[in-house]
Copies of this chain bind each other. A is one copy, B any other.
């Protein structure tokens, strides 16, 4: 059994973070992935893929990604179902991301991570280490001298 997905796309909205009752962070966002071909009438088409990530990744995603951010994720497709408020069964598909890569150049990042997303109040200590999620990742220090553009 293999279930592996890789996506690179842009967030359609700011990500949302919440916490389970046991205090685990969960962050949801949607990636718009443009299709490599146009529709019959020449319009750009995209797939809007719901993604979810957990724990430290969730907090990093909430802190550093915004609507429009270019991001890459690796994960697996997860399906679930529940009873909708109208009594009909609702089926849901989302990608559970093991890893989230921020692919914007540094110049596009907010100077300060958005400080409003933190583990809930009752936790006097941050639950996950607040390390830089870009360490070893998409560190991008493009100086004009380095690149012939």
Q: Which residues of A contact B (CB under 8 A)?
A: 1-10, 12-13, 30, 32-38, 44, 46-50, 66-70, 72, 74, 76-79, 81, 86, 88-89, 91, 93, 95, 99, 101, 103-105, 108-110, 135-140, 142, 146-149
Contacts and interface: CB of A to CB of B under 8 A. Distances in A.
A108 B149 contact: yes
Nearest to A37: B136
Contacts of A93: 49-50, 93
Q: How many copies does the complex hold?
A: 4
Given A1-B136, A49-B93, A93-B93, A149 B36 contact: no
A26 to B, nearest CB: 17
A3 B47 contact: yes
